[in-house]
Copies of this chain bind each other. A is one copy, B any other.
Amino acid sequence: MTGYTIAQASQKTGLSTYTLRYYEDIGLLEPVERAANGHRRYSDDDLGRVSFLLKLRDTGMSLEDMQQFVQLYREGDESAALRHAMLSEHRQRVQARMEALQETLDYIDYKLAMYANQQDSCLLETQAERERTS
């Protein structure tokens, strides 16, 4: 017997069985191979694809954009440039997101320091704070 059952795939990917079927339904995964009894059998490549998709999802790509990416992939080599462009754009968004996170992290640290000194109401960004970084 070859391939993983949906329960095993769920275990390995961290996605629920519901979500694995759902991703297949909406075309994020190619139709998964079936055993003689109709049960799904996931290959390592299937799991690798899930793993890749999860990286995109967890960096904020919508399922819709992932569907588009997968669609381009299906169109073969001629779409490589477009896929590269999508990925590259996504990269930029992730980077921007990280910069925003870093800024807020600094801000939170500042707030926490204020707390340590009991100097802050900590429910609004004050004029002074807005000027702090300019």
Contact = CB atoms under 8 A, between A and B. Distances in A.
A102 B91 contact: no
A56 B36 CA distance: 51
Looking at chain A's contact residues, the main secondary structure is: helix
Given A91-B105, A91-B109, A112-B91, A118 B48 contact: no
Task: Give this chain's copy count.
Answer: 2
A126 B50 CA distance: 11
A34 to B, nearest CB: 20
A132 B95 CA distance: 22
A90 B108 contact: yes
A20 interface: no
A101 B59 contact: yes
B73 A91 contact: no
A104 B70 contact: no
A39 interface: no
Interface centre among A55, A73, A83, A127 (most CB of B within 10 A): A55
Given A109-B91, A112-B88, A115-B83, A58 B126 contact: no
A70 to B, nearest CB: 7
Interface in A24-54: 44-45, 48-49, 51-52
